[in-house]
Amino acid sequence: MTRHLDLALTLAALGWHVFPLAPRDKRPLANCLSCRDNPECSRGDYAVCPCLPDGQWCHGVRAATTDPDRIRTWWRRRPDAVPAIAAGPSGLVLIDLDAHTERLPSDPAAELLPGIRLIGDQVSGDFTGVRTGRDVLLLLARLRGGPRPWPTDPGYQPATVTTPSGGRHLWYRAPHVPDGRRLRQALGQLGWQIDIKAGWSYGIAPGATTVTGHYQRTAGDPARVGRMPEWLAEEVLRVAIDRPAPPAAPALAASSGSGCSRSAAYLVTVIDNGAAELAALTDGRKSSLSALAYKTGGLLAWSGLSRSSVEDRLVTAGTVSGLPERLARRIVHRALTNGLARPLAEPKGQVRPTVNSY
């Protein structure tokens, strides 16, 4: 589809960092075999990956580029690929407003806007009109945005896209982030059916078409993306600032080289590799975390590690990837329990143990 190549080139010329997705599942095109088997790469140490400087599309969003030659090469190889945009490298934040026909959360006053108490005199307790992420964002605007939450000045106009499922994408210029911190994605943490894609997370390029339909630009100009109203920037920073990397848990790592601690180090490496993969995912995070916790459960008895130590590490992997903590804990608990009930044989594969993987 030359239309996607043209779109990718047009956005790249505006500084939007582009990379290719598979047209069916909207996941990044698969890594080459050597990246898949290379423990450094799969742990997320992209500095050692020969494919990235070589212009391959390995590692999904990490390959995102504005280089037109690279983009042409990719789409010559995969003309049907769907262009996606890496938010952070492009200096953008995507506010992704879903319109799933889900039932309201069981306790809407507490769950529509996690972390914000919906107080009676500002918001009535009747949430029956709330259906979509857009409704929830309007609710937040009413609470936090003052009398005129949406400035009409074009400097505040996001590039706005209607998604095939009836959702909405608002591409904003990334707000200023305090020194030493970065933005990351936050799924459902700002509000029910609201995801924030920032840092190394991504969204379908405005104007692209997937098997589910067209991402139709409806307002705003990708050449002049506006900034968020100040109240919204504050709320985004509240939920989408990265956390400091978790400690390397030295008690878990191998030091003596005994068989037992080597088994422990093996499992830690499995978890850390899985955590790095998880952090790079946008879709499928819940099932990936579940699969990782299941495998960990299967190896736990053999490793000699305690359940609580791996459980915390897995939950952290989930929250760092952007899942709400309660959800991550629930997924990990269930999958770990199931995995423990089905112990795996001692692994034969070679995973290089590492002491400090984060």
From 12, 21, 32, 190, residue interacting with Zn ion (rule: CB under 5 A): 32
The window from 58-66, 178-186, 214-222, 350-358 that contacts Zn ion (CB under 5 A) reads 58-66
Give the HSE-up count for residue 17: Cα atoms under 13 Å, Cβ half-sphere: 20
State in angstroms the smallest separation of the CB of 53 from Zn ion.
10
State in angstroms the smallest separation of the CB of 24 from Zn ion.
21
The window from 35-43, 65-73, 160-168, 292-300 that contacts Zn ion (CB under 5 A) reads 35-43
Q: Is 35 in the site for Zn ion (CB under 5 A)?
A: yes
3-state DSSP of 214-236:
ECEEEECECCECCECCHHHHHHH
Query: Running DSSP on this structure, what letter comes out for residue 47?
Result: G
The residue among 35 and 236 lying less far from Zn ion, judged by its C-beta, is 35
CA distance 310 to 330: 14
CB under 8 A, 24+ apart: contacts of 247-254: 248/355, 248/356, 248/357, 248/358, 249/309, 249/313, 250/355, 251/309, 252/305, 252/309, 252/310, 252/313, 253/353, 253/354, 253/355, 253/356, 254/353, 254/355
Q: Is 161 in the site for Zn ion (CB under 5 A)?
A: no
The residue among 263 and 354 lying less far from Zn ion, judged by its C-beta, is 354
Q: Is 49 in the site for Zn ion (CB under 5 A)?
A: yes
Q: Is 97 in the site for Zn ion (CB under 5 A)?
A: no
Q: Is 254 in the site for Zn ion (CB under 5 A)?
A: no
Q: Is 61 in the site for Zn ion (CB under 5 A)?
A: no
Q: Is 58 in the site for Zn ion (CB under 5 A)?
A: yes
Cα torsion angle, 44, 46, 47, 48, sign: positive
From 51, 130, 136, 232, residue interacting with Zn ion (rule: CB under 5 A): 51
Question: Residues interacting with Zn ion, by CB under 5 A?
Answer: 32, 35, 41, 49, 51, 58
